[in-house]
Amino acid sequence: MSHGANKADKIKEISGVNPLKCMKCGKCSATCPAFDEMDIKPHQFVSYVVNDDIEALASSKSLWKCLSCFACIERCPRSVQPGKLIDAARQLVVREKGADYLKADEIPELLDEELPQQLLVSAFRRYRR
């Protein structure tokens, strides 16, 4: 990806987040249930956007580890809501052709008898376009 600054603006626009409000308290990362699995942590997302380093964000595996559980969004004392930045970065990626994290062909082998439809529609919506 090129035009880092444009992408950062796009992330701010999609997410509606003002990353400059962040006071680096780290509460988002402390409360994130996926913290251990993330290479870029929720509180770091904010700095990457401020520094226009979108290339790194877009290739971060954190995009696919976020659960959309809204813990960081609920518990952010400054209403920065880093989960929205993660989602916007994920949107930028999956809106590009061929960048889906979930391919339809993968589905059959991931299924089991009890798996609810809700899981599939949710995963499709978060992981691909």
Partner 1 sequence: MKYTYYPGCTLRTKAKDLDAYAKASAKALGFELEEVTQWQCCGGVYPLGSDEIATKLSSVRVLNEAKEKGQDLVTLCSACHHVIKRVNDDMKNVPDIQSRANNYMKLPEPYKGETNVLHFLEVLRDRVGFDNLKKMVTNPLTGKKIGAYYGCLLLRPGEILAFDNPENPTIIEDFIKAIGATPVVYPYRNECCGGYISLKEKDMAKSMCDTIVESAKGFGAEMLITACPLCMYNLNKNTVGDVPVYYFTELLAEALGVKEDAE
For partner 1, the binding residues (CB under 8 A) are: 13-16, 33-34, 37, 64-65, 67-71, 73-74, 83-84, 87-88, 91, 101-102, 110, 112, 114-123, 125-127
Compute the least distance from the CB of residue 104 to partner 1, in Å: 13
Compute the least distance from the CB of residue 98 to partner 1, in Å: 18
Q: What are phi and psi of 67, to 5 degrees?
A: -100, -5
Compute the least distance from the CB of residue 80 to partner 1, in Å: 13
How far apart CA 112 and CA 84 sit, in angstroms, is 31
Closer residue to partner 1 (CB): 70 or 78 = 70
Closer residue to partner 1 (CB): 71 or 80 = 71
Q: What are phi and psi of 103, to 5 degrees?
A: -100, 145
Q: Are 94 and 64 in contact (CB under 8 A)?
A: no
Amino acid letter, 27: K
Compute the least distance from the CB of residue 121 to partner 1, in Å: 4
Closer residue to partner 1 (CB): 80 or 88 = 88
Closer residue to partner 1 (CB): 60 or 87 = 87
How far apart CA 108 and CA 58 sit, in angstroms, is 27
Q: Are 65 and 37 in contact (CB under 8 A)?
A: yes
